[in-house]
Amino acid sequence: MSRTRRATSPVRSLSWTEEWSRPSQYDFPVSPRRLALVAAVAVVVFIADRLTKAWVTENIPVNTARPVIGDYVRIVHAQNTGAAFGLLPERTTLLSVLSVVAVLAIVYYYRRIASNSALVSATLGMQLGGAFGNLLDRVTQGYVVDFVDVGLGDIRFWAFNVADSSIVVGIFVVTIALWYEERRASTTKIA
């Protein structure tokens, strides 16, 4: 009876920290100018969000509205304990954790996006600034101050703020921009 030895592989598996920090085939160099643009836009959105929320908190009592453009657009003072559009009410801890995960995901995947576009960088900055703005509210107050109220009569959209609109617009624009860049790159390869 012969014994066969199982060959051992000299390759070791990477720990999750090594895997996280390891460059991949999808990594693209991020220029310092694009990184500065992301940071600058994030700071501007964060400051605009903080200033508008502070103004609303100081000048408008909770659950009251002031018309801006007739009944179509109003400034309200709402304290939202949920996510955007009032989803997941009273889930401050969960939403705070999800906000941190979203920020980390944006930072991590930024270097993996095959784009050196200023538009993509700016929209990622919008998302970061908005995520930080709402995260700070959740951690310090347990709720997010929402104040833009749009609708007609009793038909109203959920109140939102600068951070919410920056996140939503940022996601929409970056999706369209990346789709357009990918489409343009594939037609260039074909031609």
Catalytic residues: 146, 164
Integer angstrom CA distances of residue 52 from 61, 77, 183: 14, 11, 38
Convert 108-171 into a string of H (helix), E (strand) and C (coil). Answer: HHHCCCCCCCHHHHHHHHHHHHHHHHHHHHHHHHCCEEEEEEEEECCEECCCECHHHHHHHHHH
Distance between CA 3 and CA 131 in Å, rounded? 61
Q: Evaluate whether 92 touches 138 at the Cβ level (below 8 Å).
A: yes
65 contacts 149 by C-beta, under 8 angstroms: yes
